[in-house]
Amino acid sequence: MASSIQLLSSARRWQVLHPAIYLISVLPGLFWSVVLPDKYSRFDLAITTLSVVLIQHGVNVLNDFIDWKKGADSEKEISWVHLHHLNLRVVQFHGLLSFILGISLGCLVVVHHQSFKVLYVALPLVALGYSYNASQWTLSYTALGEWVTGLCYGPGVFGCMGYLFEKKITTITLLGSLAFGFLAVSVLFSHQPPQILTDFLSGKSSFAVRHGAKRTFFVSKIFSALALVFLSTLLFLITSNSISIFALFSFEIFLFFRIKRLKPSPKIILDSFLWLGSFSL
C-alpha cells in the first residue's frame, strides 16, 4: 500500500484532476458566448464559469471522499484520496474549500449584476449539489442521483447563467437547459457500467446497478442525441446565414453518427459537444 501511495503522490496532478470531465462546466459558458456575444462582460462570464468549475471540483473531491468511506469505486487507481496520502480530513477540507469558493465567486457576480432573483433557483440547486455527496442523505447513492445531476447542470448552470445576464427566461434559456441537463446525465451514465460491481457492493443504487450495463449505455446514447437536438435547435434559432446553417447541420449529422457508432464515455460525449461549440464560434 505504501508503495502505491508513493506512486500516486508522484503522478502528474492533471491525471487526478481529470480535466476532460470539467468540460461539462465550461461548455455552458462557451455556448453563452456564442448566443450572446455582445450582451455581457467576458470577464463576468469567465468568473461565473470558474465558479461553476470550482463547485464541480468540490463535488468531485467529496465524491472520492464518500466513495472511499463506503467502499465504492475501489478500482480507481488515481483519486484525490490517494493524492492526499489517504488523509480523509485533508480530502474533505479540499472538497469543502473548493465548493465554498465556487459559491462565493458566484454570489459576487450576482451582487455585481443585481440579479438576486436568480438565487431562488441557484441556491436550492447548489444545496442539491451538496446533497449529492457531502450531506447525510448522499443522493448519489439513491435512484435520484442522476436526475439531480441533470437539474444542476441544466437549469442550474445554463439556465441560471442565462437569467443572470438577460434577467428573463427565454426560449434559448429553456432549450439550453434541456440540452445540458440531458448531456450531464448522459455523461454520468456513460461511466457507470465499469463500476457496477463495486457500486452494488457499497449500496450505491446507480442507474447501471438497477438496469444493467447494456441499457445504461443505450440510454446514454439516447440522452446524448436529445442533448444534441436541443442544442442544435438553439443554434439554428440564432443563425440567419444559410451557409452557416448548412455547415452546422452537416457537422451535427456527423456528431450523431459518431455518438451512435462509438461506445459512450465521458470523453467521447464531451469532446463531441466541445467540437460543436468550437465550430459554432
Q: Cβ atoms within 10 A of the Cβ of 201, count?
A: 13
Spatial distance between the Cα atoms of 164 and 171, rounded to a whole number of angstroms: 15
Task: Report d(CA 77, CA 83) in Å as an integer.
Answer: 10
What dihedral angle (degrees, nearest 10) is formed by the CA atoms of 112, 121, 56, 257? -110
Q: Which of 138, 11, 164 is nearest to 68 (CA)?
A: 138
By CB neighbour count within 10 A (0-12 exposed, 13-18 middle, 19+ buried), where does 220 fall?
buried
Which long-range contacts does 3-6 make (Cβ < 8 Å, 24+ apart)?
4/82, 5/82, 5/85, 5/86
Supply the pLDDT for residue 39: 67
Is 27 in contact with 277 (CB distance < 8 Å)?
yes
Q: What is the CA radius of gyration of the chain?
A: 19
Angle between helices 171-190 and 266-280 (to 10 degrees): 150
Write out pLDDT tens, residues 231-265: 888 878 877 666 666 676 677 677 777 777 777 77
Kindly indicate the confidence band of residue 32, based on its pLDDT and cuts at 50, 70 and 90: confident
| Overall residue count recorded for the chain in this entry | 281
The structure's pTM equals: 0.82
Q: What is the DSSP letter of 20?
A: G
Position 128, amino acid = L
Count other Cβ atoms within 10 Å, centred on residue 19: 9
Judge whether residue 10 has pLDDT over 60: no
Query: Is the pLDDT score of 51 beyond 80?
Result: yes
* pLDDT at 204 (0 to 100): 83
Pair 181, 154: CB distance under 8 Å: yes
Confidence of residue 105 (pLDDT cuts 50, 70, 90): very high
Cα gap 255→232, rounded to integer Å: 11
Q: Is the dihedral of CA 104, 56, 152, 204 positive or negative?
A: negative
Of 183, 198, 195, nearest to 270 by C-alpha is 183
pLDDT tens sequence across 132-161? 776 566 787 888 888 888 999 999 999 998
Confidence at residue 236, expressed as pLDDT on a 0 to 100 scale: 80
With 80 as the cut, is the pLDDT of residue 82 above it?
A: no
Question: Which residues, 6+ apart, have CB-to-CB distance to 197 below 8 Å?
Answer: none
Q: Residue 143 has what pLDDT?
A: 83
